[in-house]
Structure 1
Amino acid sequence: MSDITRIEPGARMSQAVVHNGVAWLAGQVGKPGASVTEQTEAILARIDALLAEVNSDKSRLLQATIWLASMDDFAEMNAVWDAWVDPANPPARACGESRLATPDYKVEILITAAVKG
């Protein structure tokens, strides 16, 4: 029996992998072409759903890595992030600029979280 759980596995990747009480989420993106705000909201909703599926939640975030297609969107993304993140339990976080899969993607977020019990 495997001690590794893969959530929504595909040929290339899984949306989440759980091992030894830690969940690693794949990079999440929003609807291509949507605004930074809309993409960030969609990404965080998807993160909430994946965390629930692995028996975790945003209060258990360990690390977040955020990629923006342009750092000019930093304040807009942060406005959504700040309204979502648990202020009593913020993760370690990094944010940088990177060319994403297509120009229609403006935000990608990767999460590592502790799993409950």
Structure 2
Amino acid sequence: MSDIKRRIQTPIMHRVVEANGFLFLGGVVAEDRTQDMAGQTHQILEKIDGYLAEAGSDKSKIVAATLYATDLGQKDAMNDVWTAWLDPATLPARATLGVSDLAPGALLEVVVTALK
């Protein structure tokens, strides 16, 4: 049986769930969706930093990430912010998928799994 602990909750979901030494972060989107891809990526990564810190972890412990982008033509702008945020020695496994729709105005949604 797994040891599941709910860590951070929003009105409709648990933002972070801890289970068996892992932290599972639900999809994170930018709050100011008037910004371009780089701006939204930066906001999302700041939110992820905060969620991980609140749960007792940090970005160096991210083991996997899935990025959902509405416009893969803007992938370079997203990647520039992503690579500046992470230490090259601790890059997680990552997938980037093109999607047709996210929350209104959202260009990117990020899901991560990290070690506690």
TM-score, normalised on structure 2?
A: 0.91
1:43-74 CA deviation, whole Å, 9 max, x = no partner? Answer: 00000001111111111111000011010010
Gaps spanning 5+ residues in structure 2: where?
Answer: none
Task: Supply the distance in 2 between the matched residues of 1:10 and 1:46 (Cα, whole angstroms).
Answer: 13
1:17 maps to 17
Task: Supply the distance in 2 between the matched residues of 1:100 and 1:6 (Cα, whole angstroms).
Answer: 28
1:81 maps to 82
1:46 maps to 47
Alpha-carbon deviation of 1:103? 4.6
1:92-116 CA deviation, whole Å, 9 max, x = no partner? Answer: 000010123345110111000000x
Contact 2:102/2:108 (<8 A) preserved: no
Q: What is the correspondence of 1:85-96 to structure 2 with a 5 Å cutoff?
A: 85-96=86-97
1:70 maps to 71
Q: Does 1:56 align with 2:57?
A: yes
1:29 maps to 29
Q: Does 1:5 align with 2:1?
A: no
- SS of match in other structure, 1:110: strand
- SS of match in other structure, 2:100: coil
- SS of match in other structure, 2:57: coil
Letter in 1 for 2:8: E
Task: Supply the distance in 2 between the matched residues of 1:97 and 1:85 (Cα, whole angstroms).
Answer: 22
Alpha-carbon deviation of 1:11? 4.8
TM-score, normalised on structure 1?
A: 0.90
* RMSD of Structure 2 on Structure 1 (CA): 1.5
Could you list the runs of 4 or more consecutive aligned residues of structure 1 that deviate by over 4 angstroms after TM superposition?
A: none
Give the percent of matched residue pairs that are identical in Structure 1 and Structure 2: 38
Gaps spanning 5+ residues in structure 1: where?
Answer: none
1:99 maps to 100
- SS of match in other structure, 2:14: coil
